[in-house]
Amino acid sequence: MNLKPSENEQLFGMSFFFNEIMDLYNQKKMPNRILLSGKKGLGKSTLAYHIINCILSQKEDYNYNIKEFTIDKKNISYKLIQNRTHPNFYLVDLIEEKKSIDIAQVRELITYTNKSSFNNRPRFILIDNIENLNKNSVNSLLKVVEEPNNEIFFILISNNEKKILPTLKSRCLTFKVNLTFNQSINIANQILNKNIFEYVNRDFLNYYISPGEIINLIKLSNDKKINLLEYDLESILKLMINNSYYKKNKALKKILINFIELFFLKEYKLTNTKNTLLNFYHQFLEKIHSVETFNLDEESLFLEFKNKFLHE
């Protein structure tokens, strides 16, 4: 089960966006700055890697299969991108354990753009998780994206459009990527080659869930040896909080926060004290943001939620 976008050989559920962007490229109308915006886990980064491989592999052996939306692992561009040695590809992403994409990373990117190309092919700069650019990084990035070389294309990936500075967003052609609930389920089933309803309690699935989040649920089940059919939402919340599964694990912490948000949504529909619940929910989201921004203790926050809302 592969979750790394750069290694995903098959593109699922993104054919519309792929064809739209490739049509622009083939007509020589593709802008130098593209923003792929949408919820995390939809497949935006995988889409970007497939577009890049499709273009870079055009005159290579084992080139991109447009009919099947697949990358051939034997393709040289694919291999070079995996090794981070492709002269026509540059990646900027959030470094593990860092809170933001810092200005040093952007300066290295600018150095790359100022170098001459070794061939006549286009160059691609992929900036993932751009909502994590800090203010200095964005200001520095704006200088290079405003007037890029004609053969340099920026593809920006955003998981939270509200956190993108308007000055950066306004310079990009934006594709808002979204999937229906059924599309997310179908994509997850194809990736996993199984029917997730045979492995996951429907109580965990909301109508805004992404394929990536579903796959993370299966990974949670496998890693922690949990039968997700035997738990409901409240019992899985207690299990994760009591065992501190979220500590030093960003993916599991994200699952826990998603479960808590889903819990509030379900309770809001049932309770008579909507204002009290809503106030706590907003306070909880603000505290979560502060915890992530300032690296504060999260244990007390999750324990407070458990003590106030979960029955022993």
pLDDT of residue 273: 62
Radius of gyration of the chain measured on its C-alpha atoms: 21
Q: Are the C-beta atoms of residues 170 and 134 closer than 8 Å to each other?
A: no
Boundaries of every domain in the chain: 5-176, 181-309
Question: Residue 91 is encoded by which pair of tokens?
Answer: 């990646």
At 285, is the secondary structure helix, strand, or coil? helix
Share of the chain above pLDDT 90, in %: 62
Sign of the Cα torsion 309, 282, 276, 203 reads: negative
Query: Which of the pair, 268 or 256, is modelled with greater confidence?
Result: 256
Measured distance CA(214)–CA(227) in Å, rounded: 14
Measured distance CA(301)–CA(99) in Å, rounded: 20
Query: Which of the pair, 268 or 62, is modelled with greater confidence?
Result: 62
pLDDT of residue 151: 86
Q: Write down the H helix ranges in the chain.
A: 15-26, 44-56, 76-82, 103-114, 135-145, 166-169, 181-192, 211-224, 233-242, 250-270, 274-294, 299-309
At 85, is the secondary structure helix, strand, or coil? coil
Confidence of residue 83 (pLDDT cuts 50, 70, 90): very high
183-234 residue pLDDT tens:
999 999 999 999 999 999 999 998 889 999 999 999 999 999 999 999 999 9
Confidence of residue 272 (pLDDT cuts 50, 70, 90): low
Q: Are the C-beta atoms of residues 163 and 292 closer than 8 Å to each other?
A: no
Q: What is the pTM of this model?
A: 0.90
89-145 residue pLDDT tens:
999 998 877 788 989 999 999 999 988 877 888 999 999 999 989 888 998 999 888
- For residue 95, give the amino acid letter: I
Residue environment code for 46-57, b if the CB has 16+ CB neighbours within 10 A, otherwise e:
bbbbbbbbbbbb
Question: Residue 140 is encoded by which pair of tokens?
Answer: 């520095």
Measured distance CA(35)–CA(15) in Å, rounded: 17
pLDDT of residue 76: 97
Q: What are the C-alpha distances in Å from 107 to residues 8, 35, 92, 163?
A: 29, 20, 11, 22
**Quick one: the chain helix, strand, coil %, rounded to 5?**
50, 10, 40
Q: Are the C-beta atoms of residues 175 and 17 closer than 8 Å to each other?
A: yes
142-180 residue pLDDT tens:
988 877 677 899 999 999 887 888 888 898 999 999 999
Look at residue 240 and tell me whether its pLDDT is greater than 70: yes
Q: What are the C-alpha distances in Å from 55 to residues 8, 28, 98, 121, 148?
A: 17, 12, 32, 9, 19
Sign of the Cα torsion 12, 17, 18, 19 reads: positive
CATH class, range 5-176:
alpha beta
Look at residue 267 and tell me whether its pLDDT is greater than 60: yes
